[in-house]
Chains A and B, each alone.
Chain A
Amino acid sequence: MDRPKIVRYEKPGKVENYPCGAIRVGTLVQDNAGWRILKPVIDHGKCVMCLRCFLLCPDGVIDKSGKILEIDYRFCKGCGICARECKVEAIEMVREGGDEDAG
């Protein structure tokens, strides 16, 4: 999956060195799933590859390039939209820190 690199952001040491207006992007400064409480887990036995979740995930973190769908948990924010929209109930929202370890 084509993901931006994570590049740790260094604060400019001096106020004078802060950028003037627009700042350079194209890299992510950190993964952003720190606040996720429930994470989506796909049951690949049930999944019919309709790609509804892929289309509706607001963060675009569901990868369809492989044989099965894969969720990039570094960026999934746990909103549950994929689970709600899956017509065959192939996605379950599982509490973080539980027994399931899909990350």
Chain B
Amino acid sequence: MPGKKIFISGDEAVAEAVRMARPHVISAYPITPQTVTVERISDFVEDGSLKSEYLHVESEHSAMSAAIGAAAVGARTFTATSSQGLLYMAETLPYASGARFPIVMMNANRTVATPWALLSDHRDSLSQLDSGWMQVYCEDAQEAFDMILQAYRIAEDPRVMSPVMVNLDGFILTHTYEMVDLPDQEEVDAFLPPYRTENRMDLEEPRTVCYASLDEYMEFHMKQEFDMRKARAVIAEVDRDFGIRFGRQYGGLLEKYRCEDADAVIFTLGSVTGTVRSVIDSMRGNGYRVGLVKMRFVRPFPEDEVVDIAEKVKAIGVLDRDLSIGYEGIVFSNVSSSVLRACSAPAMVNYIGGLGGRNISKDNIQEMFLELLRAADGEKGKRVRFVNVGSEYDG
């Protein structure tokens, strides 16, 4: 039976996906620009269309703590946050990942203070890259919907058993209305069967979580790391299965767009990807050999895929909507370390843009590509460049 198409925002798409994923427990605290998601989910619980326990908690720290508690007795859980809320929750993130609870969390990417701002960049989520959570970034509302469903399958896979953070650019995705294809509930149930796990507290067979043994602390985290590496194959597998069932596939860890014979490619995360695609289409029309690498997962990191790309292109630009102050863009550091493993050495340029919601225009992207093509021909330039800055700067 076919599903239906409805006109909804990114926030609502996440809420619809959560309804279809049927979590047992939802614990959340509203924060702009995630608010609509948790409001819709609480409507669904209220009207009975989602049979879950909804915990209106008093903070993000409690939201994650409650999700951890529920996951500890084997519940499928959902929470959502953004920006300062994610940072407030930060202490609890490694608890969830270390205990290997497959919690799915939506994060509406919003910049972090100070200066205070509500608009989007990736400094919130990327600051939690080392928390043991998988991180995926969505390009549009449909992908956000699909990734919530995929995230549960990936997280709950016994080979992986790790939580997933599904990221949507605040406002640009969370508040923009798009047509979203909602599948039939039965098809979703077949794709995502009920969650069953051994990894839970049980009166019949007592277990403990947050166990610490100084002797074995390292081995526990090594096991976590090895399982996270296995997640790469699971992500690809789940994406393929999703494609077969629902007709939409995203490429797993990353997506390459018109990279075949490209001299220069730009790496993106999230919503700016669409703009880069359209610039590529028009530049390709004028004979420029440019392509796109849409980073979908940043953890686990698509190491081999990046090495493969680096061996085929002459210049790589990484468009970071974040900045690790004192060094460079976080994605750029991650991409660079994989590029080092490649047999060739493409020129590397880091573009820092879109901080605090600053626009990244088609012209900006075209300029990046033109500069990258010059770098591909051997022109030396700056390693880190700031995009669409209103004032002049020396640096």
Contact = CB atoms under 8 A, between A and B. Distances in A.
B209 A18 contact: no
Interface in A5-33: 11-12, 15-16, 18, 20-26
A11 B207 contact: no
A11 B220 CA distance: 11
B216 interface: yes
B100 A21 contact: yes
A15 B222 contact: yes
Nearest to A21: B100
A21 B199 contact: yes
Contacts, number: 50
Interface residues of B, number: 24
Contacts of B200: 22
A18 B216 CA distance: 9
Interface string B213-233: 001100110110011000000
A23 B219 contact: no
Nearest to B224: A20
A18 B224 CA distance: 9
A25 B200 CA distance: 12
B100 A23 contact: no
A26 B99 contact: no
Minimum-distance CB pairs A-B, first 3: A21-B100, A21-B199, A22-B207
Interface of B: 72, 98-101, 158, 161, 199-201, 205-209, 211, 215-216, 219-220, 222-223, 226-227
25 contacts: A11-B216, A11-B219, A15-B222, A15-B223, A18-B216, A18-B223, A20-B100, A20-B223, A20-B227, A21-B98, A21-B101, A21-B161, A21-B199, A21-B209, A22-B99, A22-B207, A22-B208, A22-B209, A23-B207, A23-B208, A23-B209, A24-B205, A24-B206, A25-B207, A25-B208
